[in-house]
């Protein structure tokens, strides 16, 4: 029974990944994410329902549009798989409850932000506002369930996350974008001051390693701007799911 439930959820998560692909493509182009239905960006033909099955359709069509045979990048099924696996890991940590819903929305939004930032080097304001709104609802839901909502902690997190990145932006003279600052403020509101410190710490460590690796791999890339949003997203993902464990491990290093 349990395994059947996991299969059904995985299929649902793949479908969510498919929806994230639509968001990643359309939001930065300021197109509606609901209308029109999916179409091939090359020949504009409407994609049939049978060709909208996550991962499977891409494999069946050998990665090409059924009508015009234009290549469909492998990134589409990969994002579907990534979303499916990450949300399954989320379920494993939280179990199925209201907390899972909020964490899953947070993580799905972070995946969307990651790929939009990689493609366009922007973090759309709409997605940051959406994160704020869901973070706010998360707290309202805590109040309704008679649990502490930690409003003050969230305000400190917001000021700390947004403020620190604003400071970096000023010092580095635009090395950190406005989108990164706003995203950090929204995540600070989600995580509170201690959580956002961990997000910062992790994102700088991961960002440092990846940037060094990129520089090493192609020495000419020194002037290329590496978007920072994906590192924030990975840091936030790790903090949301494994924050307590990372904190305990960190403390144990000093004991
Ligand atoms: Zn086509």
pLDDT reported for residue 222: 59
Does residue 36 have a cis peptide bond before it, meaning omega lies within 30 degrees of 0? yes
Taking residues 55-75, report their average pLDDT: 95
CA of 52 to the centre of ligand 1 (A): 14
Residue 175 has pLDDT above 80, yes or no: no
CA of 126 to the centre of ligand 1 (A): 29
Taking residues 157-175, report their average pLDDT: 91
Give the range among 6-20, 157-171, 241-255 with minimum mean pLDDT: 241-255
Q: Helix (H, G, I), strand (E, B), or coil: what is residue 69?
A: coil
Say how far apart CA 122 and CA 243 lie, in whole Å: 27
Q: Which residue has the higher pLDDT, 26 or 173?
A: 26
CA of 45 to the centre of ligand 1 (A): 6
CB distance 179 to 122 below 8 Å: yes
Average pLDDT, the chain: 93
Taking residues 153-164, report their average pLDDT: 97
pLDDT reported for residue 215: 82
Residue 28 has pLDDT above 90, yes or no: yes
CA of 20 to the centre of ligand 1 (A): 20
Residue 155 has pLDDT above 70, yes or no: yes
CA of 82 to the centre of ligand 1 (A): 25
CA of 22 to the centre of ligand 1 (A): 16
CA of 110 to the centre of ligand 1 (A): 29
CA of 68 to the centre of ligand 1 (A): 4
Taking residues 241-247, report their average pLDDT: 90
pLDDT reported for residue 221: 56
Q: What are phi and psi of 71, to 5 degrees?
A: -65, 135
Query: Sign of the C-alpha dihedral, residues 225, 230, 233, 234?
Result: negative
Taking residues 167-179, report their average pLDDT: 87
Q: Helix (H, G, I), strand (E, B), or coil: what is residue 95?
A: coil
CB distance 159 to 189 below 8 Å: no
Say how far apart CA 181 and CA 34 lie, in whole Å: 29
CA of 129 to the centre of ligand 1 (A): 34
Tell me the pLDDT band of 219, cut-offs 50, 70 and 90.
low
């Amino acid at each position: 029974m349990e395994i059947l439930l996991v299969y059904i959820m995985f299929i649902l998560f793949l479908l969510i990944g498919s929806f994230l692909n639509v968001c990643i493509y359309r939001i930065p182009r300021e197109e509606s994410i609901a209308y029109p239905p999916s179409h091939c960006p090359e020949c504009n033909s409407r994609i049939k329902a049978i060709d909208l099955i996550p991962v499977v359709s891409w494999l069946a069509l050998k990665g090409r549009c059924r009508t015009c045979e234009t290549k469909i990048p492998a990134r589409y099924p990969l994002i579907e798989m990534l979303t499916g696996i990450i949300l399954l890991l989320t379920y494993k940590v939280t179990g199925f409850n209201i907390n899972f819903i909020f964490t899953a929305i947070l993580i799905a939004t972070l995946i969307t932000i990651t790929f939009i930032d990689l493609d366009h080097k922007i973090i759309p304001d709409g997605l940051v506002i959406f994160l704020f709104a869901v973070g706010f609802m998360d707290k309202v839901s805590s109040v309704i369930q008679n649990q502490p909502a930690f409003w003050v902690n969230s305000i400190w997190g917001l000021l700390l996350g947004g403020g620190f990145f604003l400071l970096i932006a000023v010092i580095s003279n635009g090395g950190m974008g406005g989108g990164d600052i706003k995203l950090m403020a929204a995540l600070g509101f989600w995580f509170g001051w201690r959580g956002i410190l961990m997000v910062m710490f992790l994102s700088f460590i991961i960002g440092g390693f990846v940037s060094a690796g990129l520089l090493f791999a192609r020495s000419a890339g020194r002037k290329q701007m590496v978007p920072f949003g994906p590192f924030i997203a990975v840091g936030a993902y790790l903090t949301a799911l494994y924050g307590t464990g990372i904190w305990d491990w960190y403390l144990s290093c000093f004991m």
